[in-house]
Structure 1
């Protein structure tokens, strides 16, 4: 499974990539924001995008909307990772057809459960 990990914070990308490696995912690419992620999505085929919500240039919600509006990308599963606890914001992301949602901080077990749930949907 080829996974694109999108987060503006290098430490968070590092933590997430290490967790994914522990779960035996090896084909991992990083992006620092939604703009870079969109470029990579048009250059490569990914099986999953894991993105932070709050980022500069293009946030996770805008990235999700761009993915869902793009005929080539619209079926790509997107797992949103955030510390956001605003119910209105979360409802908007769910309405935008996010595939899964994880609230920071999270454990390896929570990540594994979300990835399993997404794999069952595909």
Structure 2
């Protein structure tokens, strides 16, 4: 199981990666924004992307749009992590075919439940 964690905040990436490792996910790659993530996705295969919504260069919705438009990536599960829960933002992500949401702050149980719901096994 290979997971790409995308967040512009190093601390948030670190927290997510540590939670994933505690849940026995070991093959984890990180990116600092959507643009870097897209470049990584074009060169490596992943089973899941966990991305922040708000990032410089390319935000999470734009990254998701690019993933869904790519024939080889379009079925890749994408979890969106955000502290924003406005209905317009949620609708944008749903329209872009997001696989799931995690609202900050969250704990390992929330992350684990989302991974189980998506059938992402360690």
Is this a same-fold pair by TM over 0.5?
yes
Q: Secondary structure at the match of 2:65?
A: helix
Count matched residues. 120
Gaps of 5+ in 1: none
Deviation at 1:108, TM superposition (A): 0.3
Please say if 1:40 is aligned against 2:40: yes
Give me the TM-score of the superposition, normalised by structure 1. Answer: 0.97
Give me the TM-score of the superposition, normalised by structure 2. Answer: 0.97
Q: How does 1:1-122 map to 2 (within 5 A)?
A: 1-119=1-119
Query: Which is bigger in relative contact order (C-alpha 8 A, separation at least 6)?
Result: 2
Gaps of 5+ in 2: none
Q: Secondary structure at the match of 2:118?
A: helix
Q: Give the whole-Å Cα distance in 2 for the aligned partners of 1:102 and 1:94.
A: 13
- RMSD over equivalenced CA pairs, Å: 0.8
